[in-house]
A and B are shown apart, each in its own frame.
Chain A
Amino acid sequence: MNEANESKKDSGEGLVGQLLKFLELFWEWFFAALHPTRCCRKLLAIKDSRTRMQSSAKLWVPSFVVALIVDVPLYHLYGIELDTLGFHLASLLWFTAAVALSGFVIQLGLSWYKVRSNLADVMSIFACYFVTYQPIGAILSYPVDLKCYAILSSAKKSGADFSHALGLILSGSQSIAAGLDAVLVSASICSLIFIALTCIGASLMALTLAEHYSRPKVVCFKALAFSFSVLIVPVLAFEGLLSTYVAYAFLK
């Protein structure tokens, strides 16, 4: 009897412990979002590369979860519920792959401009200034996603295959988007804010890299501009294609 009670108590404490760890993770993410520069300083002060990578990866999960919560109403509108595990796991996979590839590609851009950077440093800085703000990205891409999902859903209902649906999205399908004037108007404003925030994040990243590696500011700006406009474009296009395909497969 006593043993059973003790094991119940242990499992209860274990659950509380897990919950506290989970909350701690969220608190760390929240702190990073409030003070990105301070968080970046903290991460870069970690000597061991592996520990630094692990610490920066801890910011990805809460960021993804909050972004997912933001997107729940949108998914619900098109028949994707929270229990559609396949969709959310695939989204998490594409998100993680996109973050890892973007970090790698930025590292490539930096080495192209002869900045002797370290992948763990680049990933940490990228996580602080970009990945942390994924929920804001989700809010800002809401109107564009709404338009895309409306087109995808309409194409799927009419029996069109994925390539046809993709063609409709790329051409901005006026007939389907005709009743979405408010969405289109918000989409253009949100895109503008998104671009402005990306530029601010990239500038902060360039300044951080310049100081961390004692390189001229202009060299880091050039390297990041090259990475963001030339190297990241194919990565994001591929990630967008896969995400659209997953959405098309799960839409009702």
Chain B
Amino acid sequence: MPDTRHTNFDLAIDSAAFLIAVLGWLFLIWVPVIIISVGVYLRGAGLLVKVYLISLATLVALAVLLGFLFKWAASGIVRRKPIQIVVATVTLIALDICLYILPSMSGQYQGADRFEGFVQGAGLAIVAIVTAMGLGRLGPSNE
């Protein structure tokens, strides 16, 4: 049964770690699958083959790298390791800026999409904050 010493605060941090681990697997498996599928679909659009393949491979490599990073960070957050907590927080904030804040500022999102982008961005920011709270619960007792 869940340990009674395990507070709601710990549960929140563990939940954030779980989400980061899930994101890790998504980047590792499903994002490359989607990128390759879209790549094959767009293949007939008359793009330069070499440039096209290099950009596709770069995207897949980035996704896989991010996947491994998130998986490593998630294990560290569950064990309350400071380096992994800091790396995960910084990566989540960077992702939030690149995926939601910058596109919103440049007006890429319109109407309902804009609100959806805002909600997703806020969600990612909340996960980053909860992860950072793990720094207040460091220690081997959480192993």
Contact = CB atoms under 8 A, between A and B. Distances in A.
Interface of A: 37, 40-41, 44, 181, 184-185, 188-189, 192, 195-196, 199-200, 202-204, 206-208, 211-212, 216-218, 221-222, 224-226, 228-230, 233
B108 interface: no
Contact of A192 (B16, B74, B119, B143): B119
Nearest to A211: B1
B1 A37 contact: yes
Contact of B6 (A185, A196, A207, A233): A207
B37 interface: no
B29 interface: yes
Given A204-B2, A211-B2, A185 B112 contact: yes
A200 B112 CA distance: 28
B120 interface: yes
A216 B141 CA distance: 11
Interface of B: 1-3, 6, 11-12, 14-19, 21-22, 24-26, 29-30, 74-75, 78-79, 111-112, 115-116, 119-120, 122-123, 142-143
Contact of A206 (B14, B26, B29, B112): B14
B25 A225 contact: yes
Contact of B115 (A185, A216, A218): A185
Contacts of B123: 192, 195
A188 B115 contact: yes
A230 B19 contact: no
B18 A40 contact: no
A189 B116 CA distance: 8
Nearest to A197: B15
Contacts of B22: 199, 225, 228-229
17 contacts: A181-B112, A184-B112, A185-B112, A185-B116, A188-B115, A188-B119, A192-B120, A196-B15, A202-B18, A207-B3, A208-B2, A218-B143, A221-B14, A221-B21, A222-B21, A228-B22, A233-B30
A233 B111 CA distance: 30
A195 B1 contact: no
A92 to B, nearest CB: 28
B140 to A, nearest CB: 12
Shortest 5 CB-CB contacts between residues of A and residues of B: A225-B21, A229-B25, A199-B15, A184-B112, A207-B2
A200 B6 CA distance: 13
A225 B29 contact: no
A226 B25 contact: yes
A40 to B, nearest CB: 7
A192 B115 CA distance: 13
A212 B3 CA distance: 11
Contacts of A204: 2, 11
A226 B11 CA distance: 19
A199 B112 contact: no
Contact of A41 (B1, B17, B115): B1
A239 B131 CA distance: 33
Contact of A218 (B6, B15, B75): B75
A219 to B, nearest CB: 9
A188 B120 contact: yes
B43 to A, nearest CB: 20
B16 A199 contact: yes
Nearest to B22: A229
Contacts of A221: 14, 17-18, 21, 74-75, 78
Contact of A222 (B6, B11, B26, B75): B75
